[in-house]
Structure 1
Amino acid sequence: MAVRGIAASVGATVLLAVTNRVLYKLALVPMKGYPFFLAQATTFGYVAVYFSILFLRYRAGIVTKEMLSLPKVHFVVIGVLEALGVASGMSAGAMLPGPAIPILSQSFLVWQIIFSILFLRKSYSLNQLLGCFLVISGVIIAVTSGSDEGQFLSNVEFIWPMMMIGSSALQAGASILKEFIFIDGERRLKGKRPDIFVVNSFGSAFQALFVFLLLPFLSNLKGIQFGDLPAYINDGASCFLNTDDQIACDGAPFLPLLFIIVNMTFNISLLNLVKMSSALVASLTTALAVPISIYVLSLPLPYMPHGSRLSTSFVLGASVLLLGLILYTLPKSAKQRKNE
């Protein structure tokens, strides 16, 4: 029964992962001119959902007052990193071909390893380091597939794939800091780790705050002056709700709302899979979603009728990246697990 439950959870998580990646790009079609507004709407959605769950877990006695009293400075830094990561990722995602988004986002693994070695003093096995090298190679092959005319990314400015990779670096830094909070919290709580919804709720709250506070700076990078910011927010809301006939936002509000709902559902499903099985199974599950997402995003889709032509070098890069992900998540020996 347990095996069937895990299998069903894996299938649901793969489906949600693919749907989430596809809707991420589709939601940015109507919101192409307002990625920062979409980032703000998404983070506020997270805050509402996570704090509602946190409240229920506190009432049930799962979350304690000691957990809620953990130092908030680390959550502030997480908020800054995730705010910059989400905003830059959506800005780049609006300009990139759909299939490029899932493959460039996998640089998250590389940054995570680098940061965990530097800040958490972690060590990694040979197969993990080799897998990381293959991920880097796959990303490089995919990105450089646009260096020649007619290739996959030939009409895309180089800044956009670099910004997507930078977004992954920021979010990887936030994930390492979350891991540190769990380790430090276990020491402060005398052997009991903080509840995951404590970390997610406060991290999301500060993320929403800093996405809002950074709007003047981020919008200025897109040529929007500070004095024009209220009009930008108003136009963004009108586009999100699709209430202004003078702003072309076909697909809103259905696509942005559907993305936000599926994105939250995917994160909860992934968390449930980790609880039912292990982080290894969750990693393999999300890795399986990468090539499926790339293929689906290359097809003609609603509001993206032309699709994308996958170059040979891009397919090669995706294959190398997937091999690296699989190699990285190979089961560890008992000795390796003991040394972690």
Structure 2
Amino acid sequence: MNRVLYKLALVPMKNYPFFLAQVLTFGYVVVYFSILFVRYQAGIVTKEMLALPKSRFMLIGLLEAMGVASGMAAAAMLPGPSIPVLSQLILSVIVLGRKYRANQILGCLLVTTGVILSVVSGANGGSSLSDVKFFWPAVLMASSACQAGASIIKEFVFIDGAKRLEGKRPDIFVVNSFGSGFQALFVLLLLPFLSNLKGIPLTELPAYVNRGAACFLNVGGGNLNDCPGAPLLPLLFITMNMAFNISVLNLVKMSTALVASLTATLAVPLSIYVLSLPLPYMPGGTSLSTSFLVGAAVLVLGLLLYNLPQNSADQVKTE
């Protein structure tokens, strides 16, 4: 639903995707810190949780901001998704000292292959990587590595926080709030670069924001039919995206960043299938190729392989 609503939100906001991205970045800071304040007042969040080292949250924010910047640069030149699964696998071994069995490594490879097959075939004749210089795939991989790094640092915060808090893991809104706060700070510092990247000179940014806000709210002068579905579709996407991010972080807290990433990849073929159907504001629909079905099957096979039953002695270890 998160991916599908994003596509639907871009129907009214087709000319203002950069504005929508900034609403998400800066709006979440207000929402997350508001929730954090309520949970602190209720005693769910403690002073000890708030006193956790902020350098980790700063690193999370920096990595996520760099992921946004590099991903935005590559998205204009390169088809396909950013896939952090393999990056998270490598980083969890290096940073967290985690050990994986052969079936888990093979499962991750199959999941990544399945995602690529699903997206490329689901693109229905989109542009090919053969026409793209190596630089842009490298930028996309860097974006994926930044996202993976941020997720691994979040997992480390939960593990280290449990040691500091006598076995109690930090509240997810502590991680969400401070991570999003530093991300917004670094995005603000990168705003001149990001706006120029999207073809919006810094001098024209205030006018662009005003037009984007008018479209988002579906108010102001001009023809309101220029932004059909606003503000309902953008608000539905923002709400769903927030719920998605909270649930993914909660899964990271309960398990690992890699498990959360693998779980989220299942949404790729599901969302492509849903988007192939006739939808409100997106009538018509498209047909899916056999390659898409093969990609989806490979992805599910990879998930099953990763989660094969095991003896307790072979459990993944964290040092």
Q: TM-score of the superposition, structure 2-length normalised?
A: 0.80
SS at match of 1:153: coil
1:252 and 2:230 are equivalent in the alignment: yes
1:319 and 2:292 are equivalent in the alignment: no
Specify whether residues 155 and 220 from structure 1 end up closer, same or farther in structure 2 by C-alpha distance, changes over 3 A only.
Answer: same
- Residues 28-70 of structure 1, C-alpha deviation per residue, up to 9 Å, x if partnerless? 2322332222122123332233223322322233322122122
1:200 and 2:173 are equivalent in the alignment: no
Q: Distance in 1 between matches of 2:255 and 2:53?
A: 28
In structure 1, the partner of 2:126 is 153
Unaligned runs of 5+ residues in structure 2 are none
1:134 offset after TM fit, Å?
A: 0.8
Q: Distance in 1 between matches of 2:246 and 2:120?
A: 35
Unaligned runs of 5+ residues in structure 1 are 1-18
Single out whichever of 224-233 and 170-179 deviates more from structure 2.
224-233
What code does the residue aligned with 2:46 have? T
What code does the residue aligned with 1:216 have? P
Q: Distance in 2 between matches of 1:285 and 1:125?
A: 18
What code does the residue aligned with 2:304 have? I
SS at match of 1:113: helix
Count of aligned pairs between the two proteins: 311
Specify whether residues 223 and 68 from structure 1 end up closer, same or farther in structure 2 by C-alpha distance, changes over 3 A only.
Answer: same
1:263 and 2:241 are equivalent in the alignment: yes
- Residues 257-302 of structure 1, C-alpha deviation per residue, up to 9 Å, x if partnerless? 1101122233445567788x86799778645544332210112222
SS at match of 1:304: coil
Equivalent of 2:61, from 51, 76, 79?
79
**Could you tell me whether the CA contact under 8 Å between 2:115 and 2:265 is conserved in 1?**
no
**Could you tell me whether the CA contact under 8 Å between 1:132 and 1:324 is conserved in 2?**
yes
SS at match of 1:220: helix
Equivalent of 2:283, from 288, 302, 305?
305
Q: Distance in 1 between matches of 2:261 and 2:273?
A: 20
In structure 2, the partner of 1:294 is 272
Q: Distance in 1 between matches of 2:261 and 2:145?
A: 18
Q: TM-score of the superposition, structure 1-length normalised?
A: 0.76
In structure 2, the partner of 1:126 is 102
Query: CA-atom RMSD, angstroms?
Result: 3.6
SS at match of 2:315: helix
Equivalent of 1:328, from 302, 306, 319?
306
Single out whichever of 55-64 and 81-90 deviates more from structure 2.
81-90
In structure 2, the partner of 1:212 is 188
Q: Distance in 2 between matches of 1:272 and 1:339?
A: 20
SS at match of 1:339: coil
**Could you tell me whether the CA contact under 8 Å between 2:110 and 2:302 is conserved in 1?**
yes
- Residues 149-187 of structure 1, C-alpha deviation per residue, up to 9 Å, x if partnerless? x9532489859x957765443322211111122233334
Q: Distance in 2 between matches of 1:43 and 1:51?
A: 13
Q: Distance in 2 between matches of 1:22 and 1:91?
A: 22
Indicate the percent of aligned positions where both proteins have the same amino acid: 66
- Residues 54-96 of structure 1, C-alpha deviation per residue, up to 9 Å, x if partnerless? 2232223332212212221221221122234356667877999
